[in-house]
Amino acid sequence: MSIQIPPTLTLVIPAFNEAARLPKSLLELQKHSSAWDFPYEIIVVVELSSDRTLELAKAAAKTFPELKVIGNTVHRGKGFAVRTGMLAGRGELLFFTDSDLSTPLKDLDRAIALFKAQPDIDLIVGSRKHPDSQILQHQSPMRELMGNTFNRFVRALAGFKFLDTQCGFKGFRAHAAREIFERAQIDGFSFDVEVLLLAEAMNFVVMEVPVHWSNSPESKVRVVEDSLKMLQDLFQVRKIVRDAMESRPFVVESGASSRK
């Protein structure tokens, strides 16, 4: 029986109706990753879409051996897609990022180097509010207002110190990814808050890092409908996390050095 060596990196990309943007991103990723000197896997998780996203992703995989495609048979939301990919990933480090690469791959390279340089870090969280971040293309004033309002609610209700929970760029060591995503339940856009609350409950070490970020005008976030659903989830997320921790208590592994 052959023994497969886990890749150093798993990069998860959730996709829903991304036929217009995903192929370009995968070409960019294939070119960029050719310079990596470590084994890696890319997992694209396609939510049930009304366009050719799944077909195009599978076509790209024919010439991109490190690319794996998972086609979900239902559309449940970004949180469900990310969770699917993270639990399927085999990497020592697992990241997820948006299908339009709104956070560029050079930021991924920096985050990987940071994980290697600081073994005490369990999670890396991209933050557009970090003083060193550069916003290359802003959202519309309405989207920025909704985002800022949501962040204020998050900080008030969840008690977070994080200035930006919703940036679609986050990285995890394998043990943290497993413990968090096996407990996570929220399928929609508020899953980021749940992930950070779970990390907090398990005393994982989280570092916010600056990003170079460009808004895509083709964002799938529906300003009113999704914002209301996110706020509804926000009022429930602490109970969801508490119940998840009670039903599956977290046990610190003997000798684990990367926890507080």
Residue boundaries of the structural domains of the chain: 9-247
List the structure tokens of 207: 């570092």
pLDDT interval class at 197 (50, 70, 90): very high
Residue 2 has pLDDT above 60, yes or no: no
- Residue 69 makes CB contacts below 8 A (sequence gap 6+) with 43, 44, 46, 54, 57, 58, 61
- pLDDT of 19 reads 97
Query: In 10 A of CB 110, how many CB atoms?
Result: 16
pTM: 0.89
pLDDT interval class at 255 (50, 70, 90): very low
pLDDT digits (tens, 9 = 90+) for 155-195: 776 677 788 888 999 999 999 999 999 999 999 888 999 99
Residue of higher predicted confidence among 143 and 88? 88
Quick one: CATH architecture of 9-247?
Alpha-Beta Complex (3.90)
